[in-house]
């Protein structure tokens, strides 16, 4: 980070007397405006008013606009908040890993060579843990298959896969499709190389392994017990486990499947033992940090009783936390994001706050600040985490929106902060459940809270900026071959962006840019505070008269 960051003032515009508040409506996109669109179906007088404003536009929030490999790739809150906070587009995990594998660089790293060498020892096994999905948000099966093939090519005889079921970034009940696709690859490798590669354990991502922001370490404990200890409900195969869970509860979806262990004659086939190699092949950090910590932290770990900690070579696909350096070993370098908006504002001595509930707290802090934990300047910043309920989100679709609103209002009324940002998680987290009435309630709750906040900012003679980081609630289902399919994934739809300026007198207008995306927001926020953007930031969404 440069020793001194400095912003230039805009001549003739110093911002407004009151605060600038950024309201992020997570998962609220602009959909087809029909019955499939939960944002359209919901009663949203606040959002409807914003969409009629002259200071309104829509933004790209997926694909290359947020650093993903192609425009067929959905956006997500991680890359979205990176772009929002950094003011530029950085190649993200999916793209970085794809390029590293495609060019073979990952397999030439000293770490990969050590992982392979360790797994080549007598009685040793190479383990892969991760999301068995091609949703390309947390992981991609193509990455896993490439590593499996490389292991076989390099003479690794034993591999075990600990497969987490998605049902969130892909179709809600597609686990069997991914298991069968994976087993086909394993059979091919056995026939070609004579190797013993099998799926050894798994479970749904929302109950096994993939917790985030320390919300519920029991999720990680269940994963540890299944993957490492081989402890849990046993089945003859991963397919049998999923089929059984489906049969026992026809309403269950993949993300909520209980953990399982694959066993033969009552013995698990793939426990993780001393001397083994382990790769967590998720590239996204938020739901990978906790398990990585459980492997890396040998002493002083108190989150749950691990029972035993195998002496393994553990690696993440990427470094999941660049500040805390988790994990210690990783295969692909993450994007180096420096000089975020927070760094510039702290350098100018501007006090700011960030508020969200646990499910999105790391997004308005860690991801916003360029994948770095902690404060940029604790003297100038206040971060507020409101604990999320430990309940399926369709059961409590209002989540913590009202609490976030109240705490933000208190901070605004304190008069201590010039800039604030907050995230309402409802549209995304409830959107992932695919339950229409819950989604509609979530959207209406967020709209009510957003309108209340805008009113407070106007009273304080400030500016409110409202946007979303990606879509989700705007696509509750899709129709294929005349059949309605529940959609729990993020959408590829654009997202709203609106400015509500209490003192607006036509000093600026929406800029006519060839493409507008989330990375244009940081420069816009700086302009609204009375600053010019840094030279290498993407253009502002506004231009002055």
CATH, residue 257: 3.40.1450.10
What pLDDT score does 70 carry? Answer: 85
* Local confidence band at 336 (pLDDT 50, 70, 90 cut-offs): confident
Residue 430 located in a structural domain: yes
Mean pLDDT value across residues 17-35: 97
Q: Alpha carbon 258 to chain centroid distance?
A: 22
> Residue 129's closest CA among 75, 208, 235, 189?
208
- Measure the CA–CA gap between 435 and 443, rounded to whole angstroms: 12
- Measure the CA–CA gap between 291 and 169, rounded to whole angstroms: 20
Pair (324, 340) in one structural domain: no
Residue 235: domain span: 94-332
Residue 489 in this model has a pLDDT that exceeds 90: no
* Local confidence band at 1 (pLDDT 50, 70, 90 cut-offs): very low
Residue 324 in this model has a pLDDT that exceeds 80: no
Residue 4 located in a structural domain: no
Pair (200, 226) in one structural domain: yes
Residue 12 located in a structural domain: no
CATH code: domain of residue 51: 3.40.720.10
Query: Out of 36, 53, 70, 77, which one is annotated catalytic?
Result: 77
Neighbours of 336 (CB within 10 A): 9
Asked whether 227 and 233 are in contact (CB, 8 A), the reply is: no
Asked whether 135 and 74 are in contact (CB, 8 A), the reply is: yes
Pair (233, 320) in one structural domain: yes
* Positive/negative CA dihedral, 5, 286, 427, 352: negative
Pair (511, 391) in one structural domain: yes
Asked whether 487 and 44 are in contact (CB, 8 A), the reply is: no
Token pair 């017990």: residue: 225
Asked whether 257 and 165 are in contact (CB, 8 A), the reply is: yes
518: helix, strand or coil: helix
Pair (326, 393) in one structural domain: no
Residue 514 in this model has a pLDDT that exceeds 60: yes
What pLDDT score does 377 carry? Answer: 97
Widest Cα–Cα separation across the chain: 78
Mean pLDDT value across residues 179-188: 98
543: helix, strand or coil: strand
Residue 269 located in a structural domain: yes
**pLDDT tens-digit readout, 118-137:** 999 999 999 999 999 999 99
Q: Structurally, how many domains does the chain consist of? A: 2
Domain end (from 332, 362, 395): 332
Burial class (CB in 10 A: 0-12, 13-18, 19+), 505: exposed
Pair (473, 345) in one structural domain: yes
Q: Alpha carbon 359 to chain centroid distance?
A: 10
Token pair 């003297």: residue: 379
- Measure the CA–CA gap between 95 and 100, rounded to whole angstroms: 9
Domain end (from 332, 348, 383): 332
In the chain, the N- to C-terminal Cα span, in Å, equals 34
Q: Is 53 a catalytic residue?
A: no
Residue 374 located in a structural domain: yes
Neighbours of 273 (CB within 10 A): 15
Pair (74, 179) in one structural domain: no
What pLDDT score does 480 carry? Answer: 80
Classify residue 326 by its DSSP letter. B
Pair (220, 369) in one structural domain: no
Cis peptide before 327 (omega within 30 of 0): yes
Mean pLDDT value across residues 246-267: 97
Domain end (from 332, 364, 386): 332
Pair (71, 98) in one structural domain: no
Lowest mean pLDDT among 65-74, 172-181, 367-376, 447-456: 65-74
Pair (404, 276) in one structural domain: no
Residue 279 located in a structural domain: yes
Residue 13 located in a structural domain: no
Residue 305 located in a structural domain: yes
Asked whether 28 and 77 are in contact (CB, 8 A), the reply is: no
Pair (255, 145) in one structural domain: yes
> Residue 488's closest CA among 529, 527, 523, 438?
438
What pLDDT score does 527 carry? Answer: 98
Q: Where are the alpha helices (DSSP H) in 22-102?
A: 38-41, 45-51, 77-86, 93-102
Pair (352, 240) in one structural domain: no
What pLDDT score does 147 carry? Answer: 98
């Amino acid at each position: 980070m440069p020793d001194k960051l400095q912003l230039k003032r805009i001549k003739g515009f110093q911002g407004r007397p009151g605060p600038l508040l950024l309201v992020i409506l997570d998962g609220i996109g602009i959909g087809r405006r029909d019955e499939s669109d939960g944002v359209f179906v919901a009663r949203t007088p606040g959002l409807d008013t914003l969409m009629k404003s002259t200071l309104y536009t829509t933004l790209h929030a997926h694909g290359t606009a947020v650093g993903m490999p192609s425009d067929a790739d959905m956006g997500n809150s991680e890359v979205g908040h990176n772009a929002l906070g950094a003011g530029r587009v950085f190649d993200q995990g999916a793209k970085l890993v794809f390029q590293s594998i495609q060019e073979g660089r990952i397999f030439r790293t000293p770490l990969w060579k050590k992982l392979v060498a360790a797994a080549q020892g007598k009685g040793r096994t190479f383990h892969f843990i991760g999301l068995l999905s091609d949703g390309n948000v947390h992981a991609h099966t193509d990455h896993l298959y490439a590593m499996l093939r490389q292991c076989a090519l390099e003479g690794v005889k034993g591999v075990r896969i600990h497969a987490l079921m998605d049902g969130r970034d892909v179709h809600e009940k597609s686990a069997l499709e991914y298991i069968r696709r994976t087993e086909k690859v394993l059979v091919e490798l056995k026939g070609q190389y004579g190797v013993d590669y099998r799926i050894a354990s798994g479970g749904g991502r929302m109950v096994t392994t993939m917790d985030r922001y320390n919300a519920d370490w029991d999720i990680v404990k269940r994963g540890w017990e299944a993957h490492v200890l081989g402890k849990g409900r046993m089945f003859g195969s991963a397919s049998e486990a999923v089929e059984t869970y489906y049969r026992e509860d026809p309403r269950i979806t993949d993300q909520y499947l209980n953990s399982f262990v694959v066993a033969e004659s009552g013995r698990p086939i793939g426990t993780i033992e001393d001397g083994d190699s382990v790769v967590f092949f998720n590239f996204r950090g938020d739901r990978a940090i906790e398990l990585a910590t459980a492997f890396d932290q040998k002493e002083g770990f108190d989150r749950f009783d691990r029972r035993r900690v195998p002496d393994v070579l553990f690696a993440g696909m990427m470094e999941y936390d660049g500040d805390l350096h988790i994990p210690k070993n990783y295969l692909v370098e993450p994007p180096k994001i420096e000089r975020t908006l927070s760094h510039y504002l702290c350098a100018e001595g501007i006090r700011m706050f960030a508020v969200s509930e646990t499910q999105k707290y790391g997004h308005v802090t860690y991801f916003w600040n360029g994948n770095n934990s902690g404060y940029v300047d604790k003297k100038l910043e206040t971060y507020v985490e409101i604990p999320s309920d430990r309940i399926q989100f369709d059961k409590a679709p209002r989540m913590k929106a009202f609490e976030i609103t109240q705490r933000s209002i208190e901070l605004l009324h304190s008069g201590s902060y010039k800039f604030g940002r907050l995230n309402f998680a409802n549209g995304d987290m409830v959107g992932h459940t695919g339950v229409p009435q819950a989604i509609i309630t979530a959207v209406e709750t967020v709209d009510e809270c957003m309108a209340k906040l805008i009113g407070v900012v106007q009273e304080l003679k400030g500016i409110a900026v409202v946007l979303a980081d990606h879509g989700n609630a705007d696509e509750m289902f899709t129709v294929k071959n005349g059949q309605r399919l529940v959609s729990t994934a993020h959408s590829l739809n654009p997202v709203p962006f609106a400015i509500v300026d209490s003192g607006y007198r036509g000093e600026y207008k929406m800029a006519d840019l060839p493409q507008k995306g989330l990375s244009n927001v940081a420069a816009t926020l700086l302009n609204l505070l009375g600053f010019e953007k840094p030279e290498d930031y993407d253009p502002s969404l506004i231009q002055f008269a």
